[in-house]
Amino acid sequence: MTRETCDVLVIGGGPAGSTISALLARQGRQVVMVEKGHHPRFHIGESLLPGSVRLLERLGVREQVEAIGMPKYGVEFVSPEHEHTSMLAFADAWDKGMPMAWQVRRSAFDEILFRHAAAQGARTLEGCRVRGVQFDADGATAQATLDDGAEIEFRARVVVDASGRDTLLAHQLGAKRRNERHNSAALFGHYTGARRLQGPLEGHITIFWFQHGWFWFIPLADGTTSIGAVCWPHYLKSRDKPLKAFFEDTIAMAPALAERLRGATLVDDAVYATGNYAYATTHCTGERYVLVGDAYAFIDPVFSSGVHLALESGFAGAELVATQLDQPARAPGARRRFEAMMRRGPRQFSWFIYRMTNPAIRALFMHPRNPLRMQEALLSLLAGDVYGRSPIGPSLWAFKALYYLNSLAMAPRTFAAWRNRRRLIAEVGRVPGENVQLDA
């Protein structure tokens, strides 16, 4: 068995793992980042938030990401209950300095971050799967297996779990919890020839509501468009035909989307599905470990928050690890602040996510207004400005108050939607397993 020692072992080479590895290596620390796959590797979550642009600049990869990205200036909402569409531009957010982001192929984006971490001095190892981690008073020991079957043991002072939805440490520690208030499933594919918006609006992400949830429509720079349906898991479990045919039937439930895909071609005839994926962990730090990105929590992707929260956790996690290594007496306080920060991001988005299928919230998104700067605050949230950089709190509370008033005004529909959601969550709760893969 090969043995290696390092200051920090980072498990996972996605956005969170690559970010924290680059930042710690830049400080001159011995960092080893292991990734079970090989870059480039397929991943969904292609829509970046404007708030991430500043983080990519600080990381030193903005120009590389811009070179592969489709400029994204806003979001379009399409509802089957309204004849018009609703457009929101990030330039109208509270902070006018975050007017755009990009749509990216995650395979290329993730590889940029991974190679950048190596350029900053991190030792990177692909095709290396960590099987488990044991902790003691002086550090941690991790056992891993390479693609060729060889075994390797890492000895580190601190372990960073950036394993994404594998949630390695959360499973090992028994800390993973299915989200009791929300759960979704998704099926998705890529198309060529989809009809996009014109001019500067071409890169807009579009959200299409339909009876079982919502669709994303994400234009990519190479001419392909990512299409995905996020719905209740029970709907996917009702499938009685091949996945491609089921996906086509689902698209037909959103006529506006079906129109934009008329004549489009499904790339490689490939449709993917995954189920029951909303979760969080009870905590994300210990004396010798830190959880970042999806290894801590994953929420519904309706606001494209995943990559942004991963990047933010990478920056904050690097500060925490540096404190644990250099100033252990200050580590308990730093851990409490990190825990609070990690809870804040998902919590800010989740209030809206839990209500996205409610007719009252749909009406507010389809008829945006800006009294008390509510629209500016909402756009700041959608842009990823969720960590106190702009004073959007009071305006968001005003928006929520307006939502409750709208809910009362359409009480029968609101109650029916609430009851249906409660029923579906209860049904999901009876489904065994936390991460059910639905294959073709």
C-alpha to C-alpha distance for 72 and 60, rounded to whole angstroms: 20
Check: CATH 3.40.190.10 for 70-103+184-276+355-440? no
Structure confidence at residue 299 (pLDDT): 87
Q: For the chain, give the mean pLDDT.
A: 92
Model confidence at 365: pLDDT above 70: yes
**Mean pLDDT for the stretch of residues 145-170:** 96
Task: Provide the pLDDT confidence category of residue 19 given band limits of 50, 70 and 90.
Answer: very high
pTM of the model: 0.93
**Mean pLDDT for the stretch of residues 60-72:** 98
Task: Provide the pLDDT confidence category of residue 358 given band limits of 50, 70 and 90.
Answer: confident
Structure confidence at residue 438 (pLDDT): 30
Structure confidence at residue 131 (pLDDT): 96
Architecture of domain 2-69+105-178+278-349: 3-Layer(bba) Sandwich (3.50)
Task: Provide the pLDDT confidence category of residue 424 given band limits of 50, 70 and 90.
Answer: low
Model confidence at 432: pLDDT above 50: no
Structure confidence at residue 426 (pLDDT): 64
Domain boundaries, the chain: 2-69+105-178+278-349, 70-103+184-276+355-440
- Burial bucket for residue 202 (CB in 10 Å: 0-12, 13-18, 19+): middle
Model confidence at 430: pLDDT above 90: no
C-alpha to C-alpha distance for 390 and 429, rounded to whole angstroms: 37
Task: Provide the pLDDT confidence category of residue 434 given band limits of 50, 70 and 90.
Answer: very low
Structure confidence at residue 433 (pLDDT): 35
Model confidence at 400: pLDDT above 90: yes
Model confidence at 105: pLDDT above 70: yes
Q: Helices 15-26 and 50-59, interaxial angle, to 10°? A: 30
| Percent of the chain predicted with pLDDT > 70 | 95
**Mean pLDDT for the stretch of residues 263-292:** 91
Model confidence at 1: pLDDT above 90: no
Structure confidence at residue 236 (pLDDT): 83
Torsion angle (degrees, nearest 10) of CA 398, 399, 400, 402:
90
Model confidence at 431: pLDDT above 50: no
| 80 contacts 210 by C-beta, under 8 angstroms | yes
**Mean pLDDT for the stretch of residues 241-258:** 96
**Mean pLDDT for the stretch of residues 70-74:** 98
Model confidence at 382: pLDDT above 90: yes
Residue 130's beta-bridge partner residues? 144
Q: What is the pLDDT of residues 315-349, one digit of tens each?
A: 999 999 999 999 999 999 999 999 999 999 999 99
**Mean pLDDT for the stretch of residues 70-93:** 96
